């Protein structure tokens, strides 16, 4: 009798596409960081 292989552990059944909430939070975080960087650049330019 052959032993079962555990190949299913190497190929998960999850899709590579993130959930919508995860994608929204990621984009929101990137937008906040971009806005913060723009504000920092504007303040630095005004002080120079």
pTM of the entire predicted model = 0.57
Q: Tokens representing 12?
A: 């998960």
Q: Could you tell me which of 23, 7, 5 has the C-alpha nearest to residue 15?
A: 23
CA distance 48 to 46: 6
Task: Tell me how far apart the alpha carbons of residues 25 and 27 are, in angstroms, rounded to a whole number.
Answer: 5
Token pair, residue 25, equals 């939070």
C-alpha to C-alpha distance for 28 and 31, rounded to whole angstroms? 5
Task: Supply 44's token pair.
Answer: 């630095």
Per-residue pLDDT at 46: 85
The pLDDT tens digits along the chain (48 residues) read: 566 555 555 566 666 777 899 999 999 999 999 999 999 998 888 887
């Amino acid at each position: 009798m052959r032993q079962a292989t555990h190949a299913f552990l190497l190929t998960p059944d999850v899709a590579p596409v993130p959930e919508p909430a995860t994608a929204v939070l990621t984009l929101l975080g990137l937008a906040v960081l971009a806005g913060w960087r723009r504000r920092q650049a504007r303040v630095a330019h005004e002080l120079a």
